[in-house]
Structure formats: structure tokens, C-alpha cells
Structure 1
Amino acid sequence: MASRTRAGDGPLRRLVAVLTRVEIGIAAALTAVIFLAVLVQAIQRYLPLPGFAWTGELSQFSLVWLTFLAAGVLVTRDGHIALQVIDNLKSERAVRTIHIAAHIIVAIVAILFAWQCTSLISTSSILTSPSMGMSMSLHYVLPLVGFISTALRSIAAAIVVGREGVAAAHQSNELTVKVNREAQS
């Protein structure tokens, strides 16, 4: 029995899978950094040694980086905030149109945020963080990567929804949107 090829099979799917693994790996590392930095802060309170002021700053920056970097993965895995009530509409055309519009809006917003990140990267090099002394232009690099990823994944999801409709996707790296199909039966 020959398997049927769907849009998104092949190089695009493999690329998305690799990018997803890289982004999740970085997110896992940032989660570990947050845990260790907060643990060090907690231990410092009970020691008679002077504390490390940079641990709080590092954990805050890591949380910001983690949040923006994971946004693209959430779009691909359909883990972002969604109104499930739209998926229960009787008209498949209306559901498809609303999903495409939502993905396009997310892509536009992500592109605008990425544009602002590039502006902040170029203008914030003279500023440094108070405790770590890190250049603030470096602070905006991971959010820039996250916004670019979000924009590209949203555009790809809009194309897939436009071609194939809104299908239930149970694989982790699908570029389709998972919906409740009960209303259409």
C-alpha cells in the first residue's frame, strides 16, 4: 500500500523538526539556568557569604528569552492561545478563513516585533545590565530569533490551512491546526 504524500512532507517537515528540536533544546537549557540561578539565590540567603547579585538578573533574562524563543514552537504545535469556539462553527470555509486570518495576524505582529528587536539591538549597545554588565543589545537577540521563527511558522501554517483546510494534527511537528471536528459531523 503506497503512502499518500501530503503538503509539508519531505524537506520542509524535516527542517521544521530540526528547528523545533534546536529551539526546545535552547528552551530546556534556559529552564535549567532559571532553576540553578534561583537555587543559588535561595542558598545564598542562608550563608554568611556575600551574595551574587547577577543571579536574579540572569534568571529574569532567561525567562524573557525562554518565553519569546518558545513562541514559534507553540505556533507549530498548536499550543498557542486559541478560541476553540471558532472551531465549532458549522461552515468549514468560515473556520478555514478565520484560521488563516489568525495566522496572518500572528505573522504580522511577529514581524513587527522582530523589526523592533533589530532596532533595539542596533541602538542598545551602549547600555549594559546593572549586575552582569551584559550589553543590552545582546538581550534582544533571542527574542528576535523567536519572533522570526513565529512569523515563518505562522506563514507556513496559514499556507497549509489554505491548501488542506483545518485538519486535526496529532504529530508534534505538524504545520496544521488541531481543531474539534465534532461540530462538523
Structure 2
Amino acid sequence: MTSGLRERKKLATRLALHEAALRLVAERGLEHVSIEDITARADVSPRTFFNYFASKDDAVVGLDPAAAARQAEALIARPAGEPAVTAMRALARDQATEMAEDRQLWPLRVQVIEAHPALVGRLVAAFGESDRVLAAAIAERTGTHVDDVLPMLLAAVAAAAMRTSLHRWFASDFTASLPDLVDEAWDAVGAGLPG
């Protein structure tokens, strides 16, 4: 088996577990779904589950652990003369466009998380790790140190802009354009917050 095929199979299994967890929680509620339920729906063993997720909550949230690294690589690959804020805004729009194309899982993920505040803690932890990875990429791109104000602040602002856009997308019953909502958030960032 080639490594490409092996990786695709791993991604397919991870997605099947995430989708099973998400759909079961949407149907029954978080407290009425077990890991055994998820693995039965995904047609894998409970042991296999733990190769992909540490907990039921992680499976429901289903964030890709490699996403932050891919986003950091995409940031570094942006044109060298492009300001860091412009580069981050472009990445956010690209991410929103990709998310909006998934008309089933992303809206369902947002709905389930909004309905189960216990999942927000897991999401915040994942965003915190993503912020650190992005701050390091911003520091590399701008020639600053990761603990300087710009890398940390820009990573946190990017995350806040995306979360705000996702909340607004949910409030529109997913009828608004997520990329346009992201642009609106970045327009507000660019204009500065009113005193």
C-alpha cells in the first residue's frame, strides 16, 4: 500500500468517525452518545477510535490537527511583500470559502457546538493551539519574535474574526455568504474599533 493511499484511508476513517459523532449528537444530544455508538455508526472498533480522537468531544468537534500547520505554511507561501494583515485576511477568506463549500458538515458542526456549550471548551483549546502555530508563522514572516505583540495579536484577531463570522453565519441560518461575513469582519478590523 502506498503512503498516499494509506493517508487517504486514515483521513477517510477520521472523517467517518467525526461525521458519525456529529450526526449522533445532533440526533440524540451529547450526553446520550457513547464512543461505542460512534464506532458502531462508523463501522470501526473502539480501539480504532482512539487512534484518531482522545475523547468523544474531540470527535464531535472534529478539527483537523494538521490544519494549523497547513495554514501556517500557506501564510509563509504568500507573496513576500504582502503585509501580514493582508496575508492573514486572504487566508481567512480562502478558509471560509472552503468551509462554505461543505454545505452539510460545517453547518451541522456549528449547530451542534452552539447547542452544546460543553464543546466550546474543546474548541477554545484547539483554537489556542492554532493561534500559537499561526503566531510563530507570523513572526517568521515579519522577522519578529513569537512573543512580540504583532504575531500574538494578529493570530488572536484572525481567530476572533473567524469565530464572529461563524456565529453570524449560524444566525443567518447559513444563508449568508461565509466569505463575505469574513470580509466584513476584516473590514471592521481594518477600520479600527470605534472609541
- If asked which structure has higher relative contact order (CA below 8 Å, sep 6+), I would say 1
TM-score by length of 1: 0.32
Hey, which of these two has a bigger chunk of helix by percent? Answer: 2
Query: Under a length normalisation based on structure 2, what TM-score does the superposition of the two structures give?
Result: 0.31
Q: Name which one, 1 or 2, has greater alpha-carbon Rg.
A: 1
